[in-house]
A and B are shown apart, each in its own frame.
Chain A
Amino acid sequence: MVEKNALFEIRNFSIHYGDFLAVKNVTVNIEAHKITAIIGPSGCGKSTLLRALNRMNDLIVTAWVEGEALFHEVNIYHKDADVIELRKRVGMVFQKPNPFPNSVYENVAYGPKIRGIKKKSRLDEIVENALVRADLWKEVKDKLNESGMSLSGGQMQRLCIARSLAQEPEVLLFDEPTSALDPISTANIENLLQELQKTVTIVIVTHNMQQAARISKYTAFMYLGELVEFGDTDTIFVNPRNKLTEEYITGRFG
């Protein structure tokens, strides 16, 4: 289904936390320039799988993996893999907006500065471009020097997206990006993601099934660490193949 334009190819991939097997032998492709949603009950391994895509799980000492996770056909878990470079190309936005306790401008300019860009005019350009892409520019262009923490929840989340975009990532991973936001801010983020998929590949973990249905092209349903069903979002929500998927999405689980 997604063989042609697979950006990530996950092959027989398992993730352990010590003795606990959190993700079991998952095989799935992530298509470029599409939104792929991962759904499933709490503890099903969906966030673990998401974090594996830019090796965020490395930060957990007991975590170890088996199988392959190919990004552009290269195994990101190879011993010579450049994790810093990977995380630049594969960014992440979290559930709770977490801007740095710094100005709006500095939040967005932080990554490029670390990368060695010093020229003010170049940084200005990157900051504006990232804020425009995150659909925040109009709201903050007159308060670039105010604290990122002074923005509303929805604005803070878009600031975090702008901060990621300033790194020119190819992929953005979203872990429940709207669960702390009101419906209007949620709709703004959803519209933004649909716009962003033209330039960035998006993988989103969400508890909100309607959100997955609204914005994603593909949906993966996970349960107890296993990938139960993966397919076109249309199929998953109208006519799922697997009984367990149906039980979950119709709200008759357990």
Chain B
Amino acid sequence: MTIFDDELIALKEKVLKLGLMVETAIRDSVNALVERDSELAREVIKRDHLVNALDVSIDEECVRLIALRQPMARDLRLITTAMKITTDLERMGDLAVNIAERALELNEEPQLKPFENIPKMAAITQSMVRDALDAFVAGCSRLPYEVIKKDDEVDNLNVRNFNELLSLMLQDPKIIPLAVKRTYIAKYLERIADHATNIAEMIIYMCKGKMIRHTEITDEP
């Protein structure tokens, strides 16, 4: 083990910590909505600056390692992947804040109907984030490909949620302000899943040295 190896382990741990913070933010923001817990929503919003600070700190560490260690091959791919996926994680954190903000607004109003699609989307999205980060730390496996596949489920739930709310809005235009906010929240989750997909694609790059972004490749060759 060299000092550089220790530094790479520390970098991975930092990325993992960021991932955990974001995963928690997603979970809490949706719980704040479903359980009408505005205190929890405010907490998610308050905690976001920690996500931002860790994102910046990881970026700085990556730049330092590139400058001082001149990484090659798998080390280079690991560090560039860390830089890219922290950007995705930070955006996911912002989207969790958006969910919490909508939750605060909706919690002030009577509930339209119990939530069905959104908790399902949140559960799948959280598992995507977790699996993507497990793949980042544990090394190369089929896991990132599974993450990419799950994105379709989230997309489909988003479409279903939108169509259901649309028909409710057509029946009763008075509910439009509440229903539109629900479509926003589903859209936020759909975008979180997209970011998780980006992470999975970068991990495939990290493992195989091959960029599959913007290609039709969805499975292991």
Contacts and interface: CB of A to CB of B under 8 A. Distances in A.
Interface of A: 209-210, 213, 237-240, 245-246, 249-252
A252 B77 contact: no
Given A238-B209, A239-B209, A249 B2 contact: no
A246 B71 CA distance: 11
B73 A246 contact: yes
Interface string B1-43: 0101100000000000000000000000000000000000000
Contact of A246 (B2, B5, B74): B74
B71 A250 contact: yes
Interface residues of B, number: 14
B72 A209 contact: yes
A251 B73 contact: no
B45 interface: no
A239 B210 CA distance: 9
A238 B4 contact: no
B71 to A, nearest CB: 7
Contacts of A250: 71-75
Contacts of A237: 72-73, 76
Interface of B: 2, 4-5, 70-77, 208-210
A247 to B, nearest CB: 9
Interface centre among B74, B77, B209 (most CB of A within 10 A): B74
A237 B4 CA distance: 18
Contacts of B72: 209, 213, 237-238, 249-251
A238 B210 CA distance: 10
A213 B71 CA distance: 12
Contacts of A238: 72-73, 76-77, 209
B80 to A, nearest CB: 10
A249 B73 CA distance: 7
A212 to B, nearest CB: 10
A15 B2 CA distance: 35
A95 to B, nearest CB: 22
Contacts of B77: 238-239
Contacts of A249: 72-73
B40 to A, nearest CB: 44
Contacts of B2: 251-252
A210 B72 CA distance: 9
B4 A240 contact: no
Contacts of A239: 73, 77, 208-210
Nearest to B80: A238
Interface centre among B73, B74, B75 (most CB of A within 10 A): B73
Contacts of A252: 2, 5
Q: Closest 8 interchain pairs by CB?
A: A239-B209, A249-B72, A246-B73, A250-B75, A237-B72, A250-B73, A250-B72, A240-B73
B1 to A, nearest CB: 9
Contacts of B209: 238-239
B76 to A, nearest CB: 6
Contacts of B73: 237-240, 245-246, 249-250
Nearest to A210: B70
A250 B209 CA distance: 15
A183 to B, nearest CB: 14
